[in-house]
A = this chain, B = another copy of it.
Amino acid sequence: MGKIRRNERIGAMVKILSSHPNKIFTLNNFSELFQTAKSTISDDLVIIKEIFDKFKLGHIETVVGAAGGVRYIPGLFEEDTNFIEDICNQLSEVDRILPGGFLYMTDILFTPEVVERFGKILATQFQHTNPDFVITVETKGIPIALMTARALNCPVVVARRESKVTEGSTVSINYVSASSRRIQTMSLVKRSVQKGQRGLIVDDFMKGGGTARGLRELLHEFEAEIAGVGVIISTADPEEKLVKDYKSLMVLKKVDEIQREVIVEPSSWIRK
C-alpha cells in the first residue's frame, strides 16, 4: 500500500471507530495500520472529533492511561428526542389497539433501524454502569437487548421460559407476574454468567415489573450484580412497580378499546 492521504485515513478511521462503539483503539493501532507517525494520527483524530460534534454523529472520547486511546460513544441528541416522539406518534395510532386492550408494537420492536436507535439511547444511559453483559427474557426483548449490547460492546444473555436440552444445565426460578398474578418460570444456562459479573436488564415492556424482578432474582442466584434496568415502554398504571430504579424511553398512558384511544408519550427525562 502506497502513501496514504489524510482523507483516506479519516474515512477509514471513522468507519472503524463507528463500527465498534465503546471499543478503545490505541494510537498505535492506527499508526500501524496506516504506517504513519502517532502525531499525525493524533492530528487526524482532532479533525474526526470535530466532524462528530459538528454533524451530531455521537462522541469521540479520548481515554487516558496505559490502556488508553480513543473510542466512539453513541450520543443522545435532539434527533434522538425527535425520534422517540415520532415512535410515540406511530404507537398512538388507533389501529394498533388489539382485543383485550393490548397494543400492537411487534413491527416496531423488530425493525432493525428502530431498535438499533433504541439500543444506542439505552447504552448511552447505562454505559457508566460498566455492564459485563445485557440480559433479557425471550422473545420480544431480544432485538433491543442485542442492539444495546452492540452499542456497549458486550454480549447478550437470554433467559428462557422453559429450559432447553440443547443448551446444557440451567438454573431456574419461579416468579409471580405482577399483572396476571400467575406463577411463571424462567431459566438461564449455567455457563452463560460468572459470579461477580454485572448484568444490565433490558426488556421491551414493563407493566408491574414482575419480569424485571424475576431477572434480578435470577442474577442473584448466579451471585451476579445488577448494573441497571432499562425498558422501551412502561405503563403509567400501576405507578408503583416491583422494581424501583428503572429507566424507560416511553410511557404508555392509556389504551382504551371502547373509546378507541391510545396515548404514548416520551419519558420526562427524554423531553427537550
Interface residues of A (CB under 8 A from B): 1, 6-8, 10-12, 14-16, 18-20, 47-48, 50-52, 54-55, 57, 98-100, 102, 104, 106-107, 110-113, 115-116, 138-139, 142-143, 146-147, 149-150, 153-158, 160, 165-168, 189, 191-192
Interface pair A112/B150, CB less than 8 Å apart: yes
Shortest Cβ gap from A52 to chain B (Å): 8
A57 to B10 alpha-carbon distance, docked (Å): 13
Structural contact, A155 and B191, CB atoms closer than 8 A: no
> Residue on B with the closest CB to A152?
B112
Q: Secondary structure of the A side of the interface?
A: helix
Assess whether A149 is in contact with B112, with CB atoms less than 8 Å apart.
yes
Among residues of B, the one whose C-beta sits closest to the C-beta of A48 is B11
Q: A146-B115, A150-B113 are in contact. Are A7 and B47 (CB under 8 A)?
A: yes
Within the complex, what minimum Cβ distance (angstroms) separates A91 from chain B? 14
Q: Is the CB of A11 within 8 A of B14?
A: yes
Instruction: Note all chain B residues with C-beta closer than 8 A to A150.
Output: 112-113, 116
CB distance from A223 to the nearest CB of B (A): 19
Known contacts A57-B12, A142-B139: A98-B166 contact under CB 8 Å: yes
A61→B58 CA distance, assembly (Å): 26
CB atoms of A104 and B7 under 8 A apart: no
**Inter-subunit contact A110/B7 (CB<8 Å):** no
Q: List 18 A-B contacts (CB under 8 A).
A: A7-B47, A8-B51, A10-B10, A12-B51, A12-B54, A12-B55, A15-B52, A18-B19, A98-B168, A102-B167, A106-B192, A107-B191, A110-B146, A110-B156, A110-B157, A112-B147, A112-B153, A139-B160
Whether A155 pairs with B112 at a CB distance below 8 angstroms is yes
Q: Which 6 A-B pairs have the closest CB atoms?
A: A112-B150, A11-B51, A110-B156, A98-B168, A102-B166, A138-B139
CB neighbours (8 Å) of A57 from chain B are: 12, 15-16
* Interface hub of A7, A50, A102 (most chain B Cβ within 10 A): A7
* Alpha-carbon distance between A156 and B228 when the two chains are bound, in angstroms: 28
In the complex, which of the residues A55, A57, A154, A158 has the most CB atoms of chain B within 10 Å of its own CB atom?
A55
Known: A139-B158, A167-B104, A191-B104. Contact between A8 and B146, CB under 8 A? Answer: no
